[in-house]
Amino acid sequence: MVINRLCKVGKMEEANGLLELMSQRGLQPDVVTCTTMISGLCKEAKVEEANELLEWMIQRGLQPNVVTFTTMINRPCKEGKIEDASGLLELISQSRLQPDVVTFTTMINGRCKEGKMEEANGLLELMSQIGLQPNMVTFNAMINGLSTEGEMEEANALLELMI
């Protein structure tokens, strides 16, 4: 609770200190604790430190979950570093986890912002293939991307599909 509040208010050094103190006292942080730390680091654009914490988790036998990876994917997508995000998506698959709607939507949104609509559409199709239904946020990302690219017919078709 205290590692969550510190992360939310941007006091990552204090949060990291608590994490180290836990380890020194023989307490193993859990996946939720580490994911909260990763989220805070990503919000502060400390992606390298977030990657280090992810590696730390794995080395200690803590299996990152889909939320952990989605948190890691979000920052590179916002920064236009789609290839970094794609590598993390592959890491999810290697971990035998199933990306969820939020994971795919994050990736789709990043592709749309980059104007890579074919890739975004490919991810949308992959969602359907594995049985995930796009949500309103997914459709909004696609419609915004198509509109920005001047693909109004396709955007309208998706809008009709939503209704």
pLDDT tens digit string along 89-147? Answer: 777 878 788 889 999 999 999 999 989 999 999 999 999 999 999 999 999 999 999 99
Residue 57 resides in a domain = yes
Number of domains in the chain: 1
Residue 58 resides in a domain = yes
Domain membership of residue 50 as a residue range: 1-62
* pLDDT tens-digit map of 38-81: 888 888 888 888 888 888 888 888 889 999 988 888 888 777 77
d(CA 151, CA 129): 24
Q: Work out the angle at residue 133's Cα, subtended by the Cα atoms of residues 34 and 145, and round it to the nearest 5 degrees.
A: 85
125, 130, 132, 137 alpha-carbon torsion, rounded to 10°: -40
Residue 43 resides in a domain = yes
- Give the 3-state secondary structure of 32-61: HHHHHHHHHHHHCCCHHHHHHHHHHHHHCC
Residue 5 confidence (pLDDT): 58
* pLDDT tens-digit map of 135-156: 999 999 999 999 999 999 999 9
**Average pLDDT over every residue of 11-23:** 72
Residue 25 resides in a domain = yes
Residue 134 resides in a domain = no
- What is the value of pTM for the model shown? 0.78
d(CA 20, CA 139): 42
Residue 101 resides in a domain = no
Residue 106 resides in a domain = no
* Amino acid letter for position 107: M
Residue 10 resides in a domain = yes
